[in-house]
Amino acid sequence: MAELQFPLLRSKHEWGKGAVAPAIESAQETIRWAEHLVFLYPLWLGDVPALFKAFLELVARPGFAIAAADQGMPRKLLKGRSARVIVTMGMPALFYRIVYRAHSLRSLERNILAFAGISPVRHSIIGGVEGSDGHRQRWIERVRRLGANAR
């Protein structure tokens, strides 16, 4: 994703009615045919990295992820898809869960993925990524098995 070129949103108008960059259109097409999505990101300053958040804001636009309803909440347009969110961090995963209550992960799951209809959403929190090679290798193998058993 770091190589994708797209503008940042600066207004509600841009989000709702602005032009969609080619890289974002391509990502939307990929999401449209996918049955299972995987999002992997490092925790930065207690949250998702800014570029990842900007990407999600652009992808999850009205008309693609949600549609205006006659009354009440918007309609969820990404139903039928599941997701796995993998968050890596230097701190111990248990510390993130207990002290920070996994707030950025919960926000992503609730405010973006579930809001668009993606369900179920499962997650893996990988703490201590700067630890031993053995720790990293065990997590790489675990994520490999999760991928093989997706959905």
Task: Give the class (CATH, top level) of 37-148.
Answer: alpha beta
Mean pLDDT in residue range 8-33: 93
CA 107 and chain centroid, separation: 10
pLDDT one-digit tens code per residue, 71-122: 888 999 999 999 999 999 999 999 999 999 999 999 999 999 999 999 999 9
Smallest Cα–Cα separation from 75: which of 33, 116, 112?
A: 116
pLDDT greater than 60 at residue 151: no
**Predicted pLDDT at 139:** 86
**Where in the chain are the domains?**
37-148
**φ, ψ at 62 (rounded to 5°):** -60, 140
d(CA 105, CA 74): 22
**φ, ψ at 88 (rounded to 5°):** -110, 150
Confidence of residue 146 (pLDDT cuts 50, 70, 90): confident
Percent of the chain scored above 90 by pLDDT? 73
